[in-house]
């Protein structure tokens, strides 16, 4: 599996990123070698690493389970960003090995049947689905209510007070 370039390119790490999870799972590197502290205090990333020919085999391995146990012991919160559910099996292979799964859905882009198919696949492998996040939502102003980051309430009336 490969990481979205934007993730590692937008993070400033304390040392150059040269390897990642693929190298750990294949047994060529230790956990310490793939942990990259960032300039954000308390934030460490593990990139996906080099492209491998059979990522499904690595994600089903005992080494993957070991990795999840080790990072869970070491860090307060662990977030795994996987590829989309439908095009590849990576997400379903990982999903039943974690404590909770959040499904991200792009508003106005992801067809409802595709969302249902994702949910079906996750349920089929007994994923602990804890919720969904609807992103890329277009803001549509309303006369009666306003919702934004940090505010909720009636919209002030325009004109003279």
What pLDDT, in 10s, does the model give residues 66-93? 999 999 999 999 999 998 999 889 999 9
Q: What is the mean pLDDT of the chain?
A: 84
pLDDT at 149 over 60: no
pLDDT of residue 53: 86
38 has which bridge partners?
13
Contact between 20 and 46 (Cβ < 8 Å) = yes
What average pLDDT score do residues 5-27 get? Answer: 78
Q: What's the burial of 77, exposed, middle or buried (CB within 10 Å: 0-12/13-18/19+)?
A: exposed
Q: For residue 42, which phi and psi values (nearest 5 degrees)? A: 80, 0
């Amino acid at each position: 599996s490969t990481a979205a370039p934007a993730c590692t390119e937008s993070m400033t790490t304390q040392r150059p990123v040269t390897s990642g999870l693929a190298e750990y799972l294949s047994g060529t590197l230790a956990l310490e070698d793939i942990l990259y502290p960032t300039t954000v205090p308390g934030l460490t990333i593990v990139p996906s690493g080099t492209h491998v020919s059979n990522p499904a085999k690595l994600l089903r391995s005992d080494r993957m389970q070991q990795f999840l146990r080790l990072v869970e012991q070491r860090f307060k919160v662990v977030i795994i960003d996987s590829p989309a559910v439908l095009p590849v099996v990576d997400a379903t292979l990982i999903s039943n090995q974690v404590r909770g799964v959040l499904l991200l859905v792009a508003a106005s882009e992801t067809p409802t049947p595709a969302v249902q198919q994702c949910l079906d696949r996750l349920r089929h492998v007994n994923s602990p689905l804890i919720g969904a996040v609807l992103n890329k939502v277009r803001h549509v102003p309303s006369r009666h209510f306003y919702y934004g980051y940090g505010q909720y309430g009636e919209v002030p009336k325009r004109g003279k007070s």
